[in-house]
Amino acid sequence: MATEIEAQIAGNVWKIEMSVGDSVEEEDVILIIESMKMEIPVEAPCAGRISEIRVSEGEAVEEGAVLAVIA
């Protein structure tokens, strides 16, 4: 079953650490959001493989936006 990873805070995608097809373990950092001059890592909630990355570096995201999907 696929797991969607959502933004917990509004901000800008500062850096994407993973690519589609990469294997991840729980708590691996997938990307980093910059918000209020802080860098907030977005971690994998479970182990699996990145099947989608729905954002790009520099993109503004709202809280709750789907950033990536783990299958």
Residue 9, pLDDT score:
97
Residue 10, pLDDT score:
98
Contact 45, 5 (CB under 8 A): yes
Give the Å distances, CA to CA, from 28 to 17, 36, 37, 48, 60: 9, 23, 22, 11, 22
Residue 1, pLDDT score:
82
Overall fold of domain 3-70:
OB fold (Dihydrolipoamide Acetyltransferase, E2P) (2.40.50)
Low-confidence ranges of the chain (pLDDT < 50): none
Q: In the chain, what are the domain boundaries? A: 3-70
**Quick one: DSSP state of residue 11?**
E
